[in-house]
Amino acid sequence: MTDPESSTVPAVPASAESAPTGLPSPGGPPSAPPSAAPARQDDVDKRRKEKVELAGAIVIGIAAVLTALATFWGSQADGEADRYRTMALDLTLDANDLYNDANAQEAIERDWIFSWLTEAQNGTDAADYLEVAMPDEVWALADEWQSSDDDIIDPFSEDAAMFYPSYSELWSQQLLELGDDSYFDARCALFETQVADTQSEAFGVAVVVLAISLVVGGVAALLQSKPAQLVALSAAVLALVFGALMLVAAADTDEAREVAAEELFEGEEGIAPGEELAVVGELCRALG
């Protein structure tokens, strides 16, 4: 005999038993696929690397421009140093030639005066001849020397310029003054050489520091570790800032002139520390 209840309840298909009902499972919400978390981390790493690469490119670009400027200005300073160094050498040679000519001319003038004096004391006619033949400025000095009551044995001594106005008119003394002018011009050219050398050295140091910024900035983009990237990028930025400051300092001509003046007059008597640049301004004339 058939059970009435069993005959009225339809059978449930097997597929219906496994169909989702839309309700949460007893254990909580459904979990994400296992590959979702690594993918998000990869995106974060990729964005961080792109930011580091962008920052590194900016640092490299700025450092490259500043390095080019430092190299260009340094080459200009080297050219100026070579130009003034050559000028100083030429002026020094000119001064030496003028000093030699002055000594030779003074020997001639001295011979004129003492030959005349000897012949005059001997009462010969040669004294009259020498008086007419010698240059006017030499005869003026001889006349002033003989007419003076000063006890000066040699009219060419260091005191002669104070007692005899015609002494400065001698051609030997004019050559000596020209030699002094060339000598001081040579020192001024040497000073300008030191100024240019000082700037050239400063530009060279700035180039080295900026090159470090270039290299470290490029390395930062290649690193994979976040701490390593931050350290490298920070070092590149610091090197860039320091190199830029050194570049600005190297371009300061006034500072370079002060340093060069101290080096030029170091240890010289009569020049107090801090007055070297003022002395240069007094001694040096405009050099072309």
| Interatomic CA distance for residues 221 and 55, integer angstroms | 9
Summarised one tens digit per residue, pLDDT across range 126-172 is 888 888 888 998 988 888 888 877 666 677 877 777 788 888 899 99
In a domain, 77, yes or no: yes
| Interatomic CA distance for residues 198 and 260, integer angstroms | 7
In a domain, 119, yes or no: yes
pLDDT for residue 276 is more than 80? no
Q: What is the structure's pLDDT at 31?
A: 53
- Interacting residues of 61 by C-beta distance below 8 A, sequence separation 6+: none
State the CB neighbour count (10 A cutoff) for residue 218: 17
In a domain, 42, yes or no: no
In a domain, 74, yes or no: yes
Distances (CA, A) of 156 to 61, 65, 164, 167, 260: 70, 64, 10, 8, 38
| Interatomic CA distance for residues 263 and 271, integer angstroms | 12
Summarised one tens digit per residue, pLDDT across range 72-83 is 999 999 999 999
Q: What is the structure's pLDDT at 38?
A: 63
In a domain, 37, yes or no: no
Say what the pTM is: 0.69
State the CB neighbour count (10 A cutoff) for residue 223: 17
**Is the distance from CB of 148 to CB of 164 less than 8 angstroms?**
yes
pLDDT for residue 5 is more than 50? no
As a whole-number percent, the residues of the chain with pLDDT over 70 amount to 79
Domain count, the chain: 1
State the CB neighbour count (10 A cutoff) for residue 194: 22
Average pLDDT value for residue range 7-33? 50
| Interatomic CA distance for residues 87 and 80, integer angstroms | 10
In a domain, 160, yes or no: yes
As a whole-number percent, the residues of the chain with pLDDT over 90 amount to 35
Question: What domain range includes position 97?
Answer: 52-259+275-281
| Interatomic CA distance for residues 207 and 65, integer angstroms | 11
Summarised one tens digit per residue, pLDDT across range 197-250 is 999 999 999 999 999 999 988 888 777 777 888 888 889 999 999 999 999 999
In a domain, 92, yes or no: yes
Pair of tokens at residue 110 = 């001295």
In a domain, 79, yes or no: yes
